[in-house]
Chain A
Amino acid sequence: MPILETYGLTRRFGTLTAVNNLTMTVEAGEVFGLLGPNGAGKSTAIKMLTTLLPPTSGDAQIAGYSVTRRAGEVRRLIGYVPQMISADGTLSGYENLLIFAKLYDIPRRERDQRVRDALAFMDLTDAADKLVRTYSGGMIRRLEIAQSLLHRPRVLFLDEPTVGLDPGARRLVWEHVQQLRENYGTTIFLTTHLMDEADALCDRVAIMHLGNVAATGTPAALKASIGGDGATLDDVFIHYVGSTLDSGGAYRDTRRARRTARRLG
């Protein structure tokens, strides 16, 4: 049974269509990846699914609740880790989690245990009482994931979860995401522009380009679809999206992407 469905989800900013008629389905327990270059519309899509941005047209349902008409219910069922830093550097890791435990109505007697469990799960027990300002990039990311797990969400949204991390920290975040899915069966919806990340984590991916979905399927099926035994997801990506470098519109696309990034940032 699908836990997430979108129907013609569309968002325009003035004349720019950031997400065009997105229709897709994510099954419960899946790790689903939305792939695409910067400015493809991934962040806009995730903002509409997490109720931050009203769609221009179309709708989406999470566990049967419409993100436009039942936003309150949706917010209780999802966890969200934004692309940018969302942990508060001036508080300790423990405090960051404690505040969210309260915002998500976790009963007082369970709070402390829930926070400590989440910190332990993300290997942050030793750093719990240090100010987040002193954390490394990978630790901040893990803390943010811990924060988004406190209320045991049905769907966890990760927007570019490893952007800006060094390879070691990236691998560690991947391991934790895989463990999360194995231990709790949480459905994970992530966006990335890294092909190896999608290959390592995702059951299914959708490739997005300029607001449209160019292809959907399992990484294996997508690789098979373009022939070639040794095909990688990179090849798939180039096949469907085209190398933006030698397509004539690169400058315009880049400008558009940057403008979008600025608007959304």
Chain B
Amino acid sequence: MIHEEHGAPRGGLDSTSLLRPLAGLGTLANFIRKTLVIAELEARKLRHDPTELFTRAVQPALWLLVFGQVFTRTRAIPTGDVRYIDFMTPGILAQSVLFIAIFSGIAIIWERDLGIVHKFLASPTPRTALVLGKALSAGVRALSQALIIFVLALILGVRINWHPLALLGVLAAVILGAILFSTFSLIIACLVKTRERFMGIGQVLTMPLFFASNAIYPIDIMPPWLKVLAQVNPLSYEVDILRALMIGQPSASSLLLDFGVLLAVSTGLILIGAKLYPRVVV
């Protein structure tokens, strides 16, 4: 039982074990197993009380049914030969993934105040698995949003690409986006440590992330300074993937680059999160 442990020297440093390629195979299997246990824990909570999933559906529905309908009529936003409602649907999916993920970090503050975090940190669970497990659960919540938006899109007559591979790509992009933004959220929670400050910062960040992206208008029509922000905003890359796969609009760069950016940023954030997470109890 003892020799299974890789003997990480200290709290947050377990994360580096991911980078040791050969000695790390068993460690990697352990990491994946533990990540899934943490995600299972969150999925079980959701099964006991799924109301959250339904209340979360209201906001994207409003965007598509009200905002989308009006702006499709006015043709105020130039989207070429693509109807505006078609153009914005992938953007609204990305937005609802962002909103569901960006406030997920507050759970860490609740759990810290209760003492739940202490118990997890005193267990032999890799810190990276604790962080990625939480992030994956945000991915599960985000998938429910995707389902709702696809149903709405069907009702609104959005021309969705139903090819199974495209749908699979959408699935991957939604989960990856949720992992990215929920880990970002966790990092903020670990830094600010109180609910009040977290809510404040969450509010401050959400809208700029959303508006400084290509979610509801193309990057081309932005002033230069906003273009720069939109181009470093990971949300733009998620939207680019979703727009390409859902309505077949050509990707602004390439899907490979888009996925690469999301993956790289997520990995970086998870490693930072795994360093900060143990400090939440100090």
Contact = CB atoms under 8 A, between A and B. Distances in A.
Interface of A: 47, 50-54, 68-73, 75-76, 78, 80-88, 90-91, 95, 99-100, 102-105, 131, 144, 147-148, 265
B45 A88 contact: yes
Contacts of A103: 34, 37, 120, 123-125
A103 to B, nearest CB: 5
A51 B125 CA distance: 13
Contacts of B9: 69-71
Given A71-B8, A72-B8, A91 B123 contact: no
A84 B281 CA distance: 12
A52 B282 CA distance: 8
Nearest to B111: A88
B4 interface: yes
Interface of B: 1-2, 4-11, 14, 33-34, 37, 40-41, 44-45, 48-49, 113-116, 118-125, 278, 281-282
Given A75-B122, A78-B122, A85 B5 contact: no
12 contacts: A52-B282, A71-B8, A71-B10, A73-B5, A80-B122, A83-B115, A88-B45, A99-B40, A104-B124, A105-B4, A144-B119, A147-B119
A68 B282 CA distance: 15
A75 B123 contact: yes
B124 A72 contact: yes
Nearest to B36: A102
A90 B42 CA distance: 10
Contacts of A91: 41, 44-45, 48
Contacts of A72: 5-8, 14, 124
A80 B5 contact: no
Contacts of B40: 99, 102
B218 to A, nearest CB: 42
A80 B124 contact: no
A73 B118 contact: no
A84 B122 contact: no
Contacts of B121: 51-52
Given A53-B281, A103-B37, A88 B7 contact: no
Given A54-B11, A71-B9, A85-B115, 19 more contacts: A47-B281, A68-B10, A69-B10, A71-B8, A71-B11, A72-B7, A73-B2, A73-B5, A75-B123, A76-B2, A82-B118, A91-B48, A95-B41, A95-B44, A100-B123, A103-B120, A103-B125, A104-B123, A144-B119
